[in-house]
Amino acid sequence: MSYMTELGARSLAAKPGLACAGTRQKNQALAAIAAALRTEMQAILNANAKDLENAEAAGMNKIMMDRLRLTEARIQGIASSVEELIALEDPVGLIESGSTRPNGLRIVKIRVPLGVVGIIFESRPNVVVDAACLCLKSGNVSLLRGGKEAIHSNTALMQVMRRAVESVGLPADIMQLVENTGRDIAQEMMRLNGYIDVLIPRGGAGLIQAVIQNSSLPVIETGTGNCHIYVDASADLDMAAAITNNAKVSRPSVCNAAESLLVHADVAEQFLPMVKNILDASHVVLYGCPRTCAILSDALPATEEDYAAEYLDFKMSVKVVDSLEEAIDHIAKYSTHHSDSIITRSLESAERFTQAVDSAAVYVNASTRFTDGGEFGLGAEIGISTQKLHARGPMGLKELTTIKYIIHGEGQIR
C-alpha cells in the first residue's frame, strides 16, 4: 500500500466516528483545539522559526515570508477564529425542504458532509487550522497537503489539533497532514479516487491550474485574485484613494488584494497624482497605460501581462478608461472573477457595474479586502471559490456540505 493510499484508508476509517458525532462533541473538539493552540504556542513558534530560517536561506521574498510567519498575536487570532466556529450553526442535518407525495411517501432534503475533503495549499500555516476546523464542524474528514516551506509549522499545528480531538473522544485521523511534500505525492493525491471525495486547491495560479489539469477527483476551484478597483467619473476621490490604498497595501500577499486600478478619464488628472502620493508611502510600483504614464511621469509602461497579473506584491496596473462600459469590458477580459469594486456616487453606475461584472464578489464603495469568510460572517473560510457550481465566493460551513434525500414510506412500490 502506497503512502497516500494508506493516508486515504485511514481517512475513510475515521469517517464513521465523525459522522456519528453531534454538534456538542464537535464544539468540544474545537474548544480543545483553541485551548491547545494557546497552551502549546511556544512549540508552534519554535517550529515556525525553523521554516522561516529555511525560507530566508532559500531567498524567499519579504511578502511571502510574511505569509509564512507566525507570531503570538497571529496564533491568538487563529485560536479565536476556531472559537468563533463554535457559535456558528452546524449545517449537518439541517432540513432544506420536505414534501409528502400523493402516494404517501414523505421526502426530506437534508444537508450532509461532503465526506473526505483533500486540500492542497501553499505557504500559509494558518490554513492547516482553518481548513481542518471547518471540516470538523461540517462533519468532514480532512486530508491536508501543504508546501515544503511550511512543513515544520504545519506538522506542529496538526499534532496539536490531533491530540486535542482525541481528548474529547474523536478519532485523531479525522484530520491528517501529508508530511511528504514531494511533487509525486501531490500527483498521487490528485488521483486518490475512492478515498477523497473532493479536492480543494488553495494557493497561487500555478498550484490551482496544476490541480485542475491533473486531478481525476472533483475539484472546487479557489481562485487567484486579479481584483480591480474602478474609480467612476462621479466618485468621491478621497474615498476612492483611501479604498485603493487599503485594497492594495493592507496585505498585498493575499488573493483579495487589489491588483488593477481603472480610472475614468474625467477624473484621472486629479485622482492619479492623489492616489500615487498615498501609495508612495508603501513604495507601490505602478504600471500604466500611455495616458497614465503621461500623467504620472514615473509610472512604468504596462504590458498585457501586467493587466492580467496577480502580483501579490507592492505593484499595481493602472489604466485610464473613457467610460463605465470600457471599465466593465477591461474587467471581463482580465479578471479572475474573484472580487471587483466600483467607487461612485451614481446609483445607475453602481447598478450597471454589479449586474455586468461577473465575479464572485462585486463591491460598491468598499475595499475588495472584505472578501473573506470571517468578514462575511461565515467563520474561517476554506477558500474563495471563483467557479459557479456548488459554491461561489468565501466557502464556509454550509459550502462544505451537500444534499441527501431521506424518504419514508409505508410499503409503497412502483
pLDDT in tens, 132-178: 999 999 999 999 999 899 999 999 999 999 999 999 999 999 999 99
Q: Are 249 and 258 in contact (CB under 8 A)?
A: no
Could you say which residues of the chain have pLDDT below 50?
Answer: none
Amino acid (one-letter) located at 269: E
Spell 384-407 as b/e; 16+ CB within 10 A means b: bbbeeeebbbbbbbebbbeeeeee
Q: What is the pLDDT of residues 49-85, one digit of tens each?
A: 999 999 999 999 887 888 899 999 999 999 998 999 9
pLDDT at position 367, please?
Answer: 96
Find the angle CA(123)-CA(391)-CA(128) to the nearest 5 degrees: 25
Give the N- to C-terminal CA distance of the chain in Å, as an integer.
44
pLDDT at position 350, please?
Answer: 96
Q: Are 199 and 217 in contact (CB under 8 A)?
A: yes
Find the angle CA(151)-CA(153)-CA(159) to the nearest 5 degrees: 95
What is the DSSP pairing of strand 401-408 with strand 106-113?
A: antiparallel
Q: Which residue has the cell 530566508?
A: 56
pLDDT at position 379, please?
Answer: 66
Q: Reduced to 3 states, what is the DSSP secondary structure of residue 205?
A: helix
Q: Are 362 and 341 in contact (CB under 8 A)?
A: yes
Q: Which residues contact 196 (CB under 8 A, 6 or more apart)?
A: 8, 11, 116, 117, 118, 143, 189, 217
Spell 109-143 as b/e; 16+ CB within 10 A means b: ebbbbbbbbbbbbbbbbbbbbbbbbbbbbbbbbbb
Q: Are 336 and 224 in contact (CB under 8 A)?
A: yes
pLDDT at position 374, please?
Answer: 77
Q: Which residues contact 212 (CB under 8 A, 6 or more apart)?
A: 201, 219, 221
User: What are the DSSP calls for 19-43, one per residue?
Assistant: HT--HHHHHHHHHHHHHHHHHTHHH
Q: Are 140 and 173 in contact (CB under 8 A)?
A: no
pTM: 0.83
